[in-house]
Chains A and B, each alone.
Chain A
Amino acid sequence: MITKRVALVGKPEVGKTTIKKVIFEGEDPNELVLFPLEATIGIKYSVHEFMDMKISLLDTPGQSLPILLQDEEKQIASFENTGAIIYIFDYPTWITDSQDIIDDIQTLYKINKKHDFGSKIVLFLHKVDLLIDKKIGSRLDLIGKQINKQLDLPEDFPIYFTSLHPNLIYTIYNAISDTFSNFSEDSSKLKEIIKKTIKHSSKTICFVSNREGNLIIQSSSPDFDTTTLYYLYEKIYQFSKTPEQPLSNNKFINAGSKLLCMIIEDIGKFHPSFKNLLFFSETLKENDLNEFINEIEKELGQIYN
């Protein structure tokens, strides 16, 4: 089993430790939000298993973020050999202090480049439960684009919108599992196959979920309407919670402003890390999507059987 290091960084009070406790230590999010934890003091490591990997997680104390961003020795101790640096910021702070957050992320980018850490920088915009908007899908999409625009860096960073709210808890699971699965060889191979398959299609997206119902792969054609993503996550989560209602009966799904054609296939037989392969499309019909599934299963068969 390979071990990957992942660092969680962010300002104090954004929710780093709470996330860690809920996701990896099975604590009750409602209790942790009602009765918040004491501030984290000192850097905390913990090790967790995920897919075919061990993840060594580093929770940095928020108070020391400015020091960390200045002190070279600390940077090397914290970020050397990390596969991913997850920068967590929260919605209220983004509203009041976006420049400060932009500065943090730009600094992280520079540090990562300077020391050649080669870590993947991933952004979590947390506490989106506080964003109460009737058009939340398009709002989040807009905020995501705005963040990358303001960052003005040579590459766009993946941004996940997360929350521990009971109705949104899947957002944090998806964000973590999608980030971690990038280090898994099995998942990377499958992702390549999917990318190749949908390369020429329009307004179509593909997901792979694991046995826990969390998304581990997401790949879409460039013109896919990302404002529907928020709703798709919610629907996929709801389905995974009610297995008695077979997803395969559904041909269409209502996702925000769009009605998408959908199809689903159980690919658990190829590898225990995988469960469902899902396609959603604005332009393609059931038959076309079935073609995709056949192609992908053929390739998976060659690898795993």
Chain B
Amino acid sequence: MLRQIYIILNDNIIYQRNYAKGLDDSLFTNVYLNIKKAAFAKFADVIRSYEFFEFKLSYIVEKSLNLIFLFVTGLGDEFKNIKPQLSDFRKEFLDFYHDNIKENNLKIVTEILDPIVDNIHRNLKPKISIVGFSGVGKTTTTKLIKSEEIPMQHIPTITGEVATIKIGKLHFFLWDFAGQDQFDFLWEKFIRGSDAVLLMTDSTLENLEKSKYFFLLVNKEVPYARLAVIANKQDLPEAMKVEDIERLMGTKTYSFIAIDPNNRPKMIRIIADLLDMDAKVSPLLKPIFERDTLMDKAQKALELGEFNETVEIFEKISNICLELGDDSLAIELQEKADKLRSFLG
């Protein structure tokens, strides 16, 4: 998925758009200096891609103008898909601004660039795969989160369903796989390039133990994808507790009830949380943003020794976490609040 876009002219960032966590300022500066050296070398390629820790950095350079277009994507994105986007973007930008750059009176109009870039994000959209054994609630979940105007497209040949989901400015690409048995051999093709994989379970011990099988497959095919367990059917009395599931699976686990229509935003938030999406892009993601801000605040208060305030913030975050379906974090924070209170006496 496209995480960030930069346009750099004469060593200044003249345009930047963030869809998800990517390079921070200091890292960008460092990376840019290195890339610039390579990009402006005499026989260097005009368009190239480098792997940099968890990111793929791809650029196209306009040497005569000292201009670089830089895309930050995930490691799962293939350069052959990024390349045409980069080329088109450069062309569109230059068609529009070429004369202004030469005349040194460049004024970037974000209202013009943003939609173009959003379109690139659409083309390099996150791929989210929902996997799990049959009957755990994958189809119900996909139906729950798909937007009404875009119908699910059933692709019989791959016994799975594909949906594009549009929420605010975000576009998600979703697979709902059938169970394991039908298409072991197709697995690789399906899962390749996934940015996030949700392992859907029905919260029973038997199903969880069986589902560990998917972990092996996911780790093998897309080791860089972000992985979470969805503890579905939490409304049933026999459902295991989320903290216990998390401990058993060793992976971030979110509680869920797919048959409850009110849970649509919750699923979107889970996905956004998992992908470190920029919460400012969509109002639906506000709780994530709020939680992160409060986390920082709690940390500050703790460091300053303002323990009463810390307790209060911990409890606030705990409530937001419940809303997000992040039960284990909610419990953790409640425990921390209690502990701090007991120390205060």
Interfacial residues, chain A to chain B (CB-CB below 8 A): 28, 30-31, 33-35, 91-92, 95-96, 129-130, 132-135, 138-139, 142, 163, 165-166, 245, 249-254, 257-259, 261, 285
Contacts and interface: CB of A to CB of B under 8 A. Distances in A.
B52 A259 contact: no
B223 A91 contact: yes
Contact of A166 (B30, B335, B336): B30
Interface stretch (B7-15, B31-39, B105-113, B142-150): B31-39
A166 B24 CA distance: 11
B70 to A, nearest CB: 13
A45 B205 CA distance: 53
B34 A135 contact: no
B67 interface: no
B54 A132 contact: yes
A163 B57 CA distance: 19
Given A34-B35, A166-B26, 19 more contacts: A28-B34, A30-B30, A30-B52, A33-B53, A35-B50, A91-B223, A96-B220, A130-B224, A132-B224, A134-B252, A249-B305, A250-B305, A254-B299, A254-B302, A254-B336, A257-B328, A257-B332, A259-B336, A259-B340
Interface in B124-165: none
Interface in B287-345: 298-299, 302-305, 307, 328, 332, 335-336, 339-340, 343
Contacts of B343: 252, 261, 285
A284 to B, nearest CB: 11
Interface string B220-259: 1001101110000000000000000010001110000000
B305 A133 contact: no
Contacts of A28: 30, 34
Size bracket, chain B contacts = 35 or more
B54 A34 contact: no
B251 A250 contact: no
B274 interface: yes
A248 B236 CA distance: 49
B38 A35 contact: yes
Contacts of A34: 31, 34-35, 38, 50, 52, 57
B223 A130 contact: yes
A96 B223 contact: yes
Contacts of B273: 134
9 contacts: A34-B35, A34-B50, A34-B57, A35-B38, A129-B53, A134-B226, A165-B54, A250-B303, A252-B302
B219 interface: yes
Contacts of A163: 53
A254 B250 contact: no
A134 B302 CA distance: 22
B251 A95 contact: no
Nearest to A132: B226
Contact of B250 (A135, A245, A249, A253): A135
B19 to A, nearest CB: 16
Contacts of A91: 223
Contact of B251 (A135, A165, A254): A135
A253 to B, nearest CB: 8
